């Protein structure tokens, strides 16, 4: 078990800056997700931590030791790859045992640890099989077992679930969480799927354009996003951003007003679809419904507020129709104010 | 693990570079140099001797004639074979294997095989005799029937060397998505039109590779001719062999070699120009 | 106005089939002719080799095997120089395999896994060797080989043959290695391997079939080569050089026996690795 310190890591590919001086500390035993869209640099960062890429500048420190110039095998890590990288010419047993064998462990110990990892991942029954005979999900488990078998100080995972179908992904996610909780390994997990990050991580680092926009617990990131990007990336349906003008501490939308923290600036009101409720008497923020989608657990209303597109979540039995205008009440404490120019959130008044 | 280890690729290619340098580039330069030297110093004597030799003009004519006849025929034949094979579903692998058997056959062995067919007491004559078309053995490969000999050599070369064109063309055909032909068909194009307007243009890069390779090899034709016709049908490579081994004159042999190289390079340049494809025109 | 099913034209059914049956027949016939065209001459060589002394000179010939005997073959092999030539061919081919794989595979790996300055120049050099009449380079090498004591040795011949086979080996192993995902090596590095260990434990086992196919093709290239072998050998001839020499003088059935020995190993080898060679040329198997 070890902590990881990433200190101002920069990575340039020619003239392209993939990572712009990223710093991050992962505490011992913590599960941190690197979350972001493709191209944001999260996989590059992970590969630099692993030693598969070399940073242009900056340091990587694991368990107090500067590993920045060390080969991957000397960093005390294990990794689960996106396409599993399970060796096709070895049995499952030999695959899981691979890291242990490279450590020159005794046969006794190898057997014990492989069987333990296999039990954790429920793959005991195919230890003798070859990967070609396994399904994607099973191969995935083999990859995770291989990583856990070496009891690493740090576990790195590069979008391990993205090649599985939706149902399998959900099952594996919960299993993974249980297994890793028990193992207590420091983990860095890369994904572009925010539900995965929210479900699995102790803290999430949301990345965009080679930088970390915000690090925090899932709830913090959800409730108090630091930037427009974070607000829009987390949560489903995506956060609505309504441009408003704020004067004398109040923002006016239609007939409704909301207290706002700054004056005279161009601002956007960040409102989650699930944080607005239908006003009983039609007062409140005007919302013109264009489409009503019954999702079973709720109604997804797509329409516009003050002419700008928005999505609102309503109770499944609400009596609303397309083409209607309804009023929304909003708790001022649950909205986010975004400075239109910088894209950063402004502290509430 | 890149940056620290950037010497590795160079270390990996170094042995082959050294090897090719010593056994390809050096002899190449030596051949050219050798052809231009006699006694001591630069001289065109070798070339003069080569050009003045009785067999020279024959060899040039024969080699060009052979190439100009055989290569287009092979391309057409290979295209036909390739189209047929790609239309098969069952037995495709078997057909492909049989058709590419000649790839594994030495040109000498190919010459011997056709010798079996075409010699005086050979199978062709036997068949013709059995059909009552001839009274006795007919000499197809003798000096008295140069055109028959030529035809025999063309046949043998067609048999032997079409496979390499076939392989390159099939690989190229497979790169053409089926959807293009299907779309053309839906829009009313007949099979021949589809072939000429869609398949063939998209096949240009493969055709270019195949033609370059095959033509360069065609200018080197040697063992088949030797097996079927001995010295009755002089070709450039054969003459080089004779000057080197029988006459022990390395200089003239080198002159022949340089001539063949020059012709091959010229042909390659022509193909590269004429069959040029702009990258944006490829699928 | 609805169209009754019975009124729909029958032609829609036949248009949905890939090829009308007349076309199909033509296809199969054409293919049969082509296949026969390839196999018949080989058959006749075999007949010539195993048809006994009389069989070769019989007039008119029959296409059915008569007087089958191994006599011609065994006599041929017993001729002085023939067995030696066989052995020389084997040695030359074996050495060619060794050299072309040892030189070509690392180059193929470098091209597959690294992008380095000069890689295009290297690829060009390799391709260039194909654009030249290679065997002809044997001419100047005669002199150098004499000086170095390599003349008239299978080893010398194998050197030239390696020049022929090396480009093939390099480019083929390049696509071979590119087909093995880099992730396998990365996983091996993470779990404790040095680059070399990762190559030996993970890449090599997976590349073995393809390397074997490359080796076999290099063997066939050397086994079949005529021109350079003839120029570079006098007494220690390879089989091809030997056969070329005796072409004018020897009895026919010996020539056929020799031809048969030339043909069969190559054909068998190519059969054994055909799937792999096709894959490597880019031809997908069904």
Tens digit of each residue's pLDDT (9 = 90 or more) over A149-166 = 999 999 999 999 988 888
Dist CA B92 CA C31 (whole Å): 11
**Chain C residues touching residue A87 (CB < 8 angstroms):** 184, 187, 202
Closest of A237, A243, A234 to residue A312, by C-alpha: A237
Mean pLDDT of the region B232-246: 84
Residue A192 φ/ψ, nearest 5 degrees: -110, 0
* Mean confidence (pLDDT) of chain A: 91
Pairing relation of β-strands A285-294 and A299-305? antiparallel
Instruction: Decide: A153 and A186 in contact? Cβ < 8 Å.
Output: yes
Q: Is residue B227 part of a domain?
A: yes
User: What mean pLDDT is predicted for residues B81-85?
Assistant: 86
Task: Please state whether beta strands A240-247 and A250-253 pair in parallel, antiparallel, or not at all (unpaired).
Answer: antiparallel
The pLDDT-based confidence of A238 (bands split at 50, 70, 90) is very high
Beta strand pairing call for A203-208 and A31-35? parallel
Cβ neighbours of residue A125 under 8 Å, at least 6 residues apart?
Answer: none
Could you read off the pLDDT of C202-243 as tens digits, one per residue? 999 999 988 988 898 899 989 999 888 888 888 888 888 888
Inter-chain CB proximity A78 and C181 less than 8 Å? no
Query: How many angstroms from the chain centroid is the CA of residue C29?
Result: 28
Output the pLDDT for position A110: 95
The residues, any chain, with a CB within 8 Å of residue C26's CB and separated by 6 or more, are none
Tell whether C117 lies on the interface with A, counting CB pairs under 8 A: no
* Structure confidence at residue A316 as a pLDDT band (50, 70, 90): very high
pLDDT at C59: 62
Tell me, yes or no, whether B1 lies in a domain. Answer: no
Strands A4-13 vs A57-62: parallel, antiparallel or unpaired:
antiparallel
> How many CB atoms lie under 10 A from the CB of residue B226?
25
Residue B54 backbone class (left: φ over 0; alpha: ψ -120 to 50; beta: rest):
alpha
pLDDT of residue A289: 93
Residues of C in contact with B31 (CB under 8 A): 136-137, 139-140
State pLDDT tens for residues A97-124.
Answer: 999 999 999 999 999 999 999 998 999 9
Residue C199 distance to chain B (closest CA, Å): 13
Give the separation between CA C263 and CA C260, rounded to whole angstroms. Answer: 5
∠ Cα A313 A316 A320 (to 5°): 75
Domains defined along chain C, listed by start? 80-281 (1.10.3720.10)
Give me the residues of A, 76-105, that contact C with CB < 8 A.
77-79, 81-83, 85, 87-89, 98-99, 102-103
Using a CB–CB cutoff of 8 Å, tell me whether B154 touches chain C. no
Asked if residues A283 and A295 have their Cβ atoms less than 8 Å apart, the reply is no
Residues of C in contact with B8 (CB under 8 A): 110, 114, 195
CATH code assigned at B209? 1.10.3720.10
In this complex, the chains that touch B, judged by 3 or more CB pairs closer than 8 A, are A, C
Inter-chain CB proximity C27 and B34 less than 8 Å: no
User: CB-based contacts of A271: which residues, under 8 Å, 6+ apart?
Assistant: A239, A240, A241, A242, A310, A330, A335, A336
**Chain C residue numbers touching A99 (CB-CB < 8 A):** 191-192
Using alpha carbons only, give the angle B106, C70, C243 rounded to the nearest 5 degrees.
30
Q: How many other β-carbons are positioned within 10 Å of the β-carbon of residue A73? A: 22
Q: What is the pLDDT of residues A9-58, one digit of tens each?
A: 999 998 899 999 999 999 999 999 999 999 899 999 999 999 999 999 99
**pLDDT reported for residue C285:** 52
B51 lies in some domain: no
- Name the pairing type of β-strands A186-191 and A154-158: parallel
The number of domains in chain B is: 1
Taking 60 as the threshold, does the pLDDT of residue B4 lie above it?
A: no
Identify all chain C residues contacting A140, using CB atoms and an 8 Å cutoff: none
For residue A98, list chain C residues with Cβ-Cβ distance below 8 A. Answer: 188, 191-192
Query: Nearest CA to CA, how far is C195 from chain A (Å)?
Result: 10
Residue B41, burial from CB neighbour count under 10 angstroms (0-12, 13-18, 19+): exposed
Task: State the complex-level ipTM.
Answer: 0.84
Inter-chain residue contact C31 with B212, CB threshold 8 Å: no
Considering only residues 9 to 38 of chain B, which have any Cβ-Cβ distance to chain C shorter than 8 Å?
Answer: 9-10, 12-13, 15-17, 19-20, 23-24, 27-28, 30-31, 34
> Quick check: B2 and A69 CB within 8 A?
no
* Residue that wins the pLDDT comparison between B276 and A147: A147
Cα separations in angstroms, A113 against A93, A97, A100, A110, A142: 11, 8, 8, 5, 13
Residue numbers in A near C181 (CB within 8 A): 83, 85
Query: What phi and psi values does residue C156 have, to the nearest 5 degrees?
Result: -60, -45
Q: Among A154, A166, A129, which Cα is nearest to A62's?
A: A154
Give per-residue pLDDT as tens, C17-38: 456 677 778 888 888 888 888 8
Query: Who among C186, C191, C206 is closest to A52 (CB)?
Result: C186
Structural domain range at position B236: 56-281
Question: B238: nearest CA in chain C?
Answer: C227
The token pair that represents C232 in the structure block: 């570079």
pLDDT in tens, C57-97: 666 566 666 666 777 677 777 777 788 888 999 999 999 99
Query: What pTM does this model have?
Result: 0.81
B166 phi/psi in degrees, rounded to 5? -60, -50
In angstroms, rounded to a whole number, what is the distance separating the alpha carbons of residues B25 and B16?
Answer: 12
pLDDT at A242 over 70: yes
Please determine, for residue B92, whether its predicted confidence score (pLDDT) is greater than 90.
Answer: no
Beta bridge mates, A312: A301
A78-103 confidence digits (pLDDT tens): 999 999 999 999 999 999 999 999 99
Using a CB–CB cutoff of 8 Å, tell me whether C46 touches chain B. no
Q: From A53, which residue of chain C is nearest by alpha-carbon distance?
A: C186
Output the CA–CA distances (angstroms, integers) from residue A207 to A191, A226, A238, in the order listed.
10, 12, 17
Q: Which residues of C102-128 are buried (b: 16+ CB within 10 A; e: fewer)?
A: ebbbbbbbbbbbbebeeeeebbebbee
Contact status of A72 with chain B (Cβ, < 8 Å): yes
Asked if residue B198 lies in contact with residue B185, where contact means CB atoms within 8 angstroms, the answer is no
Q: Do A79 and C181 touch (CB under 8 A)?
A: no
């Amino acid at each position: 078990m070890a902590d990881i310190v990433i200190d101002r890591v920069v990575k340039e590919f020619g003239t392209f800056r993939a990572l712009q001086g990223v710093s991050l500390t992962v505490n011992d035993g913590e599960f941190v997700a690197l979350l972001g869209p493709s191209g944001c640099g999260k996989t590059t960062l992970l590969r630099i931590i692993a030693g598969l890429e070399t940073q242009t500048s900056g340091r990587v420190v694991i368990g107090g030791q500067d590993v920045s110039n060390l080969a991957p095998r000397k960093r005390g890590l294990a990794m689960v790859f996106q396409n599993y990288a399970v060796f096709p010419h070895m049995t499952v047993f030999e695959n899981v045992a691979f890291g242990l064998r490279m450590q020159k462990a005794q046969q006794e110990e190898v057997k014990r640890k492989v069987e333990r990892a296999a039990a954790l991942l429920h793959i005991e029954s195919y230890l003798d099989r070859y990967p070609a005979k396994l399904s994607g999900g099973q191969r995935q488990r083999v990859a995770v077992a291989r990583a856990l078998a070496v009891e690493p100080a740090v576990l790195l995972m590069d979008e391990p679930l993205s090649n599985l179908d939706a149902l399998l992904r959900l099952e594996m996610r919960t299993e993974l969480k249980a297994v890793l909780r028990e193992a207590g390994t420091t983990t860095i997990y890369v994904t572009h799927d925010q539900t995965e990050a929210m479900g699995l991580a102790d803290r999430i680092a949301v990345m965009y354009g080679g930088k970390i926009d915000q690090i925090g617990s899932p709830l913090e990131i959800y409730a108090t996003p630091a930037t427009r990007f974070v607000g829009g990336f987390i949560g489903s349906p995506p956060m609505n951003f309504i441009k408003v003008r704020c004067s004398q501490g109040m923002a006016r939308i239609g007939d409704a007003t909301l207290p706002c923290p700054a004056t005279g600036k161009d601002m956007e009101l960040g409102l989650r679809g699930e944080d607005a409720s239908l006003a009983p008497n039609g007062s409140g923020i005007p919302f013109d419904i264009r489409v009503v989608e019954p999702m079973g657990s709720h109604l997804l209303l797509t329409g516009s507020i003050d002419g700008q597109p928005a999505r609102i979540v309503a109770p499944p039995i609400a009596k609303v129709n397309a083409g209607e205008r309804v009023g929304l009440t909003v708790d001022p404490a649950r909205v986010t104010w975004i400075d239109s120019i910088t894209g950063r959130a402004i502290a509430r008044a | 693990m890149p940056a620290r280890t950037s010497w590795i690729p160079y270390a990996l290619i170094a042995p082959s570079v050294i090897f090719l340098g010593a056994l390809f580039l050096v002899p190449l330069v030596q051949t050219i140099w050798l052809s231009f030297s006699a006694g001591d110093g630069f001289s065109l004597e070798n070339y003069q001797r080569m050009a003045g030799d009785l067999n020279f003009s024959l060899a040039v004519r024969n080699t060009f004639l052979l190439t100009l006849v055989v290569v287009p025929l092979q391309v057409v034949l290979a295209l036909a074979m390739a189209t047929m094979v790609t239309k098969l579903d069952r037995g495709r692998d078997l057909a492909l294997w049989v058709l590419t058997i000649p790839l594994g056959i030495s040109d000498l062995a190919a010459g011997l095989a056709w010798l079996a067919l075409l010699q005086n007491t050979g199978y062709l004559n036997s068949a013709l005799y059995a059909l009552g078309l001839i009274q006795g053995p007919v000499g197809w490969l003798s000096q008295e029937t140069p055109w028959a000999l030529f035809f025999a050599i063309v046949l043998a070369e067609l048999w032997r060397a079409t496979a390499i064109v076939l392989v390159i063309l099939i690989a190229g055909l497979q790169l053409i998505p089926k959807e293009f032909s299907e779309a053309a068909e839906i829009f009313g194009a007949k099979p021949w039109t589809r072939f000429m307007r869609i398949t063939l243009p998209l096949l240009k890069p493969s055709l270019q590779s195949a033609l370059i390779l095959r033509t360069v090899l065609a200018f080197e034709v040697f063992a088949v001719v030797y097996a079927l016709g001995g010295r009755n049908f002089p070709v450039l490579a054969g003459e080089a062999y004779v000057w080197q081994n029988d006459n022990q004159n390395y200089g003239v042999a080198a002159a022949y070699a340089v001539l063949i190289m020059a012709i091959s390079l010229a042909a390659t340049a022509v193909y590269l120009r004429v069959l040029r494809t702009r990258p944006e025109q490829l699928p | 106005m609805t169209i009754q099913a019975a009124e729909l034209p029958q032609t829609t059914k036949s248009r949905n089939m890939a090829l009308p049956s007349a076309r199909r027949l033509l296809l199969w016939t054409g293919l049969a002719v082509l296949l026969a065209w390839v196999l018949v001459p080989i058959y006749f060589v075999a007949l010539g080799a195993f048809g006994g002394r009389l069989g070769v000179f019989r007039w008119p010939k029959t296409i059915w095997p008569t007087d089958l005997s191994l006599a011609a073959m065994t006599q041929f092999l017993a001729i002085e120089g023939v067995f030696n030539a066989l052995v020389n061919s084997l040695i030359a081919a074996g050495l060619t395999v060794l050299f072309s794989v040892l030189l070509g595979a690392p180059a193929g790996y470098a091209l597959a896994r690294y992008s380095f300055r000069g890689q295009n120049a290297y690829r060009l050099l390799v391709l260039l060797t194909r654009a030249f009449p290679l065997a002809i380079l044997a001419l100047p090498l005669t002199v150098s080989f004499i000086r170095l004591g390599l003349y008239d040795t299978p080893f010398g011949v194998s050197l030239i043959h390696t020049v022929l086979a090396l480009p093939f080996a390099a480019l083929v192993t390049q696509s071979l290695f590119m087909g093995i995902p880099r992730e396998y090596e990365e996983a091996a590095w993470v779990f404790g391997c040095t680059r070399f260990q990762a190559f030996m434990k993970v890449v090599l086992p997976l590349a073995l079939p393809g390397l074997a196919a490359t080796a076999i093709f290099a063997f066939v290239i050397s086994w079949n080569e005529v021109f350079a072998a003839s120029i570079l050998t006098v007494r220690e001839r390879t089989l091809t050089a030997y056969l070329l020499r005796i072409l004018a003088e020897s009895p026919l059935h010996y020539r056929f026996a020799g031809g048969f020995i030339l043909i069969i190993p190559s054909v068998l080898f190519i059969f054994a690795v055909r799937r792999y060679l096709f894959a490597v040329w880019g031809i997908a198997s069904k």
